[in-house]
A and B are shown apart, each in its own frame.
Chain A
Amino acid sequence: MPVPGRGVWFVRMVLAVVASTVLLAACGGAPAPEDRTLTLYNAQHEGLGRLWVDEFTRQTGIPVQIRDGGDFELGNQIVAEGAASPADVFLTENSPAMSLVSGANLLAPADGATRGLVPPQYASTRGDWVGIAARTTVVVHNPALVPEDQLPDSILDFARPEWQGRVAFPPGGADFQAIVSAVNALNGDAATQQWLAGLKANGRIYQSNTATMQAVNRGEVPAGIIYHYYWYQDRAEAGANSANTELKFYTNGDAGGFLSVSGGAVLASSSHPAEAQQLLAFLAGVPGQEVLARSENLEYTVGAGVPANPALKPFSELRPPPVDLSTLNGPKVVGMMQQAGLL
């Protein structure tokens, strides 16, 4: 027979656990007043986010805790949280999610000095977010399957029947959705919806940029639409997923050369606005941009005149199409992609 004491012990343990859970709940939400830890909602790559934050904390002593996620996941999350958002600073990989939060009037104006660090075409016209990095659209292709001169002059042509089963892309992520928003801004609604329908019919869908590139590298599919830096990252490492591939840059004004800008912003509801502005100034300024240029991330620098990593095709040679970032409409594009059955 069991010893009666054991049962009492079990009940006490359960009570203790429940009590500590309630306590945790009580403490979890409210930081002590002297605590100036910033909460960063980071849609940029985890690794880059960590590098930035570590250097910032080293220089300023301000601790930062990070919540990672996708552009629209975190952007819509901030909108849903509203003024109660625990976030102080928000970083995206692409500007549409930033415009979404800006449109909900949840961003604080960036400090004037910070705005002065970034060329105006890479920042919000409302002055509530600034560019912190940039990436260009490319077509990654497997020359053994399709030489560069057989690639179309416009990525819109991938919707044509001859590309049936021959083009790869990652529609689930914010990266590709930003590219679609550029196609929409440059070519209009009808052409975009038609393009999406064509891609739905022709394309092979992958989970991420890297998975898309890897499929092209293996020869599963001849070409894919991605951003440049995944390829450079892989080449810089060992080329395991890119050795059989090359990049085509679109310098003819086509949406295939769209330059997407990663944004940084301070939340209007931030409980540490001064420290949050300090972090944004760090990111757009020389220290943050140098962290980016030195890192293995290989996105382009946009702020404070810091040159990009020399391994990249020079920024001045990109010649992207003229896209007004403030016109890029994320929710509309997601709706169009839902209509096309890509989401």
Chain B
Amino acid sequence: MTAAAPLRVAVASVAALLALVPVGYVVAAAIAVGPAGVAELVWRPRVGELLINTTVLVLATSSACVLLGTATAWITERTDLPGAPVWGALFAAPLAVPAFVNSYAWVSVLPGADGFVGALVVTTMSYFPFVHLPVAAVLRGLDRDQEDVARALGLSARAAARRVVLPALRPAIVGGALLVGLHLLAEFGALALLRYPTFTTAIYDQFQSTFAGPAAAMLASVLVVLCLLLLTADVALAGRARQARVGGGAARRRARTPLGARRVPALLAVGLLVVAALGVPLGSVVRWMVTGSSTTVDAAALATATATSIGLGLLAAAVTTALTLPVAWLAVRRPGRFSRLLERTTHLGNALPGIVVALALVIVAIRVVPGLYQTTPLLVTAYAILFMPLALVNLRAALLRTPPELEEVAHGLGSRPGAVLARVTVPLLARGAGAAAALVFLAVSTELTATLLLAPTGTATLATEFWGPAVAVSYGAAAPYALTMILISVPAAFLLTRQVHAGTRP
């Protein structure tokens, strides 16, 4: 064993401390406002209204996504639906359409599609792939001999599915639903366009009316509590039953369940879903490109915004991956209480909506590090806090697949720790680190909320250039930016699909 590498511990600690800044801001704001002020700002009807709106939407959309995502996974993996693999790919594809672009597409075509029903439909169409992908992956990897054993022991097909298949799917379903819930809590753009107020949209309204005032911070504190509650619920719901077994064996190829007379209705249903989830956004964006009265494609502005988004994405991907690598390394190679604490803390970004992170950094920059205020590094820091969890998951998985003996041999042969990291660990991790960096890049290139608040003066990204006209109802002017964001997101959707499949392979 090598000694603990101080540089890695230092960088990992920086990463964890960064993730603590937003929580610290919310707590500090609450202390500054005082108990009476907190009560006045939190205990008011508006907050109750937002709480109901937010909770109802999270429950309704995650339930809808669970039903829809499980159904699509089953029908594409287990039945003889014609063209099943193609449908499977189509059900992953909505991930390439950022939710606020999807919302714009629906609202601009069906202006009445707003409020709760609109929000439910649009967010479900955007987020059901988060359930579909993991459930489909588990269904594919599941050894069906277990079902046969259950049947042989006298269970009906339905009972076997309930007692054998469903428990195996449970972690995937809960994990997917959690992801949907966290995305909903953080979602700003899509819900603002749909006129469905939640905590996140209300915080933005407060920001517009009071900048980073106490009312915004208090709403943010409630939102952070909601996010943490959701994460806790996930741990409780995922269950502790053992799913692993010794020896994967060679699963026999099985005939798929014949749909029989239900084949035509099934095809119609999946067709309809694809039209709603993909046809509407793509059709609407193309329609506005072609017919929009305000569509004037300013090629130079579009090119600048694209270049800015890509540049910020690359920078953030490099910084985030570099910050996260030591955290993942410590968690995997030097497990212990300290490593676990660092890893968990770094994961906080998962539960922090962009708007909370942005508010925190604005205030910290003004009060503590004025030199960073309104600079690219500050914006990149926000991206790092938000997307470190994304990188962490990938790096951790990659490290787990890498035998530590290789590092130890290099060390034994006289290489210094830095050289071991550079010449052994990093090359072995290249694929995992690449996937991590790519996911961060793609998340950053369509990020809206933090960018709106933190971008340096004069910086325009695809998301911010899209947002201005979309709010002002100049749908045509927003279309070129919407289309570019979809094109940039296609590789992200592909990567996510591959990652889910790789992660659950038996």
Contact = CB atoms under 8 A, between A and B. Distances in A.
A2 B430 contact: yes
Interface string A180-223: 00000000000000000000000001111011001100101000
Contacts of A211: 471, 473
15 contacts: A11-B426, A22-B377, A24-B376, A28-B372, A28-B374, A72-B210, A81-B373, A205-B195, A205-B197, A211-B471, A237-B294, A334-B210, A337-B209, A341-B44, A341-B45
B202 interface: yes
B271 to A, nearest CB: 30
Contacts of A76: 210-213
Interface string A1-30: 011101110110110011001101110110
Given A81-B366, A341-B49, A210 B426 contact: no
A46 B206 contact: no
B319 A18 contact: yes
Nearest to A22: B377
B2 interface: no
A208 B213 CA distance: 22
Nearest to A68: B468
A13 B321 CA distance: 12
B423 interface: yes
Nearest to A206: B195
B451 to A, nearest CB: 13
B46 interface: yes
A79 B363 CA distance: 12
Interface string A76-109: 1101110010100000000000000000000000
Interface stretch (A171-179, A280-288, A308-316): A171-179
Interface in B193-217: 193, 195, 197, 202, 205-213, 215
B215 A6 contact: no
Contacts of B322: 14, 17-18
A131 interface: no
A57 interface: no
A11 B422 contact: yes
A289 to B, nearest CB: 24
Nearest to B213: A76
Interface string A250-286: 0000000000000000000000000000000000000
Given A80-B366, A210-B472, A341-B44, A70 B195 contact: no
Contacts of A86: 373-374, 457
A338 B215 contact: yes
A242 B425 CA distance: 63
A241 interface: yes
A81 B208 CA distance: 16
Contact of B377 (A6, A21, A68): A21
B457 A172 contact: no
B500 interface: no
B44 A339 contact: yes
A334 B205 CA distance: 11
A205 B202 CA distance: 13
Contact of A343 (B202, B374, B457): B202
Contacts of B49: 341
A240 to B, nearest CB: 6
B212 A237 contact: no
Interface residues of B, number: 58
Contacts, number: 160
B375 A8 contact: no
Contact of B112 (A25, A75, A172, A220): A220
B458 A65 contact: yes
The DSSP consensus for interface residues of chain A is helix
Interface of B: 41, 44-46, 49, 111-112, 192-193, 195, 197, 202, 205-213, 215, 293-294, 315, 318-319, 321-322, 362-363, 366, 370-377, 380, 421-428, 430, 433, 456-458, 468, 471-473
Nearest to B293: A238
Contact of B211 (A25, A77, A208): A77
B490 to A, nearest CB: 25
A134 to B, nearest CB: 21
A29 B376 CA distance: 11
A163 B392 CA distance: 54
A126 interface: no
B375 to A, nearest CB: 4
Contacts of A174: 208-209
Nearest to A330: B209
Contacts of B202: 343
A161 to B, nearest CB: 19
A7 B426 contact: yes
B377 to A, nearest CB: 4
A73 interface: yes
B211 A72 contact: yes
Contacts of B433: 10
A12 to B, nearest CB: 9
Nearest to B314: A17
A21 B195 CA distance: 38
Contacts of B212: 76, 80
A65 B460 CA distance: 12
Interface in A96-127: none
Contacts of A25: 371-372, 375-377
Interface in A321-343: 331, 334, 337-339, 341-343
B46 A24 contact: no
Contacts of B207: 73
A219 B417 CA distance: 70
A334 B111 CA distance: 29
A4 B423 contact: yes
Nearest to B206: A343
Contact of A207 (B315, B318, B372, B471): B471
A7 B208 contact: no
Nearest to B374: A86
Interface in A34-65: 39, 46, 65
A145 interface: no
A218 B376 contact: no
A11 to B, nearest CB: 5
Identify which of B197, B207, B363, B422 gathers the most chain A CB atoms within 10 Å of its CB: B422
Contacts of A215: 111
A294 interface: no
B458 A66 contact: yes
A91 to B, nearest CB: 14
Given A22-B377, A28-B375, A81-B366, 20 more contacts: A7-B421, A8-B422, A10-B427, A11-B422, A11-B426, A21-B319, A21-B376, A66-B457, A66-B458, A70-B208, A72-B209, A174-B208, A334-B210, A338-B215, A341-B44, A341-B46, A343-B205, A343-B206, A343-B209, A343-B215
A341 B208 CA distance: 16
A186 B370 CA distance: 41
A26 B375 CA distance: 10
Contacts of A235: none
Identify which of B206, B209, B421, B471 gathers the most chain A CB atoms within 10 Å of its CB: B209
